Amino acid sequence: MTLTVVGAVVFGGLAAARGGDPALPAYLLVGAIGLVLALVDLACLRLPDPLVALAAGCGALGLLVAALVTGAAGGLLAALAGAALSFAGYALLAVLPGSRLGFGDVKLAAALGLPLGWLGWSALGLGLVLPHLLNGVVVLALLATRRVRRDTALPFGPAILAGAWLAVLLA
């Protein structure tokens, strides 16, 4: 039941925000794979490479089709730049001493940087910042309710996905 509601909110939000956009199928495909990735990360603190690659491939293919339909080749360059910038920023965060960010998170950020880059720099910026704000609120609530300790490992993939989703809605 909960997954059905979350899926309806994710797909309904994307359809409402990007309704006439030829890139909508790309967003819906990435959203569907993102739901699976979030469940996997919540269950076992892992973002499987094949699923992340599938999300990136579906996003890239959907954006390529949208670029062909609209003639917006510049959007593809912006999407690739968004993926590269997301990868570089998250890779830097992952190698910082004491970082709990895994390279699955880095690869997911790059995969989501494609559709965010397609929407523009403000969407990409939001998609890079919102996950940290969302995760901070969740962690503070979990710490306040004593459900976790400071050294408890928590998944970050769901926050990355939620932040990207919100950035698409706000773009």
Q: Could you report the per-residue pLDDT of 9-26, keeping only the tens digit for each?
A: 999 999 999 988 999 999
Question: Tell me, what's the pLDDT at 72?
Answer: 85
Within 13 Å and on the Cβ side, how many CA atoms surround 141? 6
Within 13 Å and on the Cβ side, how many CA atoms surround 21? 22
Residue 3 scores a pLDDT above 90: no
pLDDT tens figures, 103-162: 999 999 999 999 999 999 999 999 999 999 999 999 999 889 988 888 888 899 999 999
Grouping H, G, I as helix, E, B as strand and the rest as coil, residue 97 is coil
Q: Which of 107, 156, 110 is nearest to 131 (CA)?
A: 156
Question: Tell me, what's the pLDDT at 1?
Answer: 67
pLDDT tens figures, 59-69: 999 999 999 99
* Mean per-residue pLDDT, 36-55: 96
Question: Contact at 8 Å (CB) between 29 and 58?
Answer: yes
Q: 16-30, 39-53, 79-93, 139-153: lowest mean pLDDT where? A: 139-153
- Residue 2: which pLDDT band, with cuts at 50, 70 and 90? confident
CA 74 to chain centre: 22
